[in-house]
Amino acid sequence: MFKFFILLGFWLILCLISLGVGSYHLSPSEVLDTLLFATNERAKDVIFGIRVPRILLSSICGAMLAVSGASLQAVFKNPLVGPNIIGVSSAAAFGGAIAILLGFGGIALIFCAFFMGIFAIILLGYIAKFVRQSSIFSLILSGVVVNGFFGALISLTQYLADNEQTLPNIIFWLLGSFISANYDKFFILFFISLICGGTLMVIRWRLNLLSLSDDDIIGLGINPKTLRVIILLCTTLLISAQVAMSGNIGWIGLVVPHMARFLVGQNYNINLPVCAILGAVFMLLIDTISRASVGSEIPLGILTALIGTPVFVYLLRAQNGKI
């Protein structure tokens, strides 16, 4: 767990750096002065009213995506599986887009995203069963089908949206951003992650068993189907809640678990906590880079895709001959 505390220290340092980054720049001395003494009222409002909730929200979203990605890879016994690859993120994005189109927000938007995320998992299972194949390639193709289906529905939603107000809101939300971060959103995600993420952490040792056959798992006194259902429900709610709060931010759920595996190995007792803190670091770093850009902020979905795409290509190359 030494590496976990190293990453935690790096996250704290990154938090301090991130407090000073943005359109209203603050030097390290101004940040420390505001945190310790709060003498500058404007800096105090910027830090505690805007940047602290943004740091908290981005960090918890990154942790949720990373833990979900690692859990999905364990369930599907496939290192190339992620929220985007199997269509959960795009389905949740469609649910959120529908909610925005109908004028819903808050909890209603989360429920819409969650419902469509569950539907994506069910649809993926039926497609994989229909083609009667269990290879990595067939699973990726099934994910492409699910992604394409919900991508078309998202396009239809945009076509039906009002050009002056609703359409810009949907497009901006889909690109991914923490610009609307606040403490209410953070506490909603904290509550969801406490239940779902906490459940995954408690049963993380059982994720190691999913590499065995179902008969072997049953022999150890555990119902593999029940275990998979619990994991899928928890990961779907985590992903859907993240999408509802900050839009469709891809690749973190695929890339970060591989980083964690490289650092601490495959054992989920150690791997999953490291995934959480590494996901928080990765997302906060991406958000800080976005805010540091000249002019308007770069959408997070663009930045994560620019980093995640070449990594995914490398993983496909590494799997050559096994697909």
Whether 98 contacts 175, CB under 8 Å: no
Count CA atoms within 13 Å of residue 285 on its CB side. Answer: 15
Rounded distance, CA 244 to CA 241, Å? Answer: 5
User: CB–CB of 235/293 below 8 Å?
Assistant: no
Question: What residues make up the domain containing 313?
Answer: 1-8+26-320
What is the token pair recorded at 106?
């808050």
CATH number of the CATH domain containing 226: 1.10.3470.10
Q: Tell me the pLDDT of the chain (323 aa) as tens digits.
A: 688 899 999 999 999 999 999 888 888 888 888 888 877 888 889 999 999 999 999 999 999 999 999 999 998 888 878 887 778 889 999 999 999 999 887 778 878 888 898 898 888 878 877 876 655 567 667 878 888 999 999 999 999 988 878 888 888 888 898 988 999 999 999 999 999 999 999 999 999 998 888 888 898 889 988 998 899 889 988 998 898 888 889 889 988 998 898 889 889 999 999 999 999 999 999 999 998 876 678 889 889 888 778 877 776 676 564 54
DSSP string, 177-190: --TT--HHHHHHHH
Residue of 105, 106, 97, 72 whose CA lies nearest to 151 = 97
Measured between alpha carbons, how far is 197 from 203 in angstroms, rounded to an integer?
A: 10
> 296 in a domain, yes or no?
yes
Whether 315 is covered by a domain: the verdict is yes
CA dihedral sign, ordered 214, 133, 249, 270: positive
E strand or H helix that includes residue 238: helix 224-246
CA–CA distance, 309 with 94 (Å, rounded to integer): 22
Does residue 197 belong to any structural domain of this protein? yes
Instruction: Confirm whether 19 is domain-assigned.
Output: no
Instruction: Report the alpha-carbon angle 64-68-69, nearest 5.
Output: 120
Please state, as a whole number, how many other Cβ atoms lie within 10 Å of the Cβ of residue 322. 8
How many structural domains compose the chain? 1
Could you tell me if residue 16 is inside a domain? no
What is the pLDDT, as a whole number, of residue 12?
Answer: 95
Task: Establish if 277 belongs to a structural domain.
Answer: yes
**Structure letter (DSSP) for residue 47:** I
Say which residues have a Cβ less than 8 Å from residue 172's Cβ, sequence separation at least 6.
Answer: 247
Assigned domain for 180 exists: yes
Look at residue 21 and tell me if it is in a domain: no
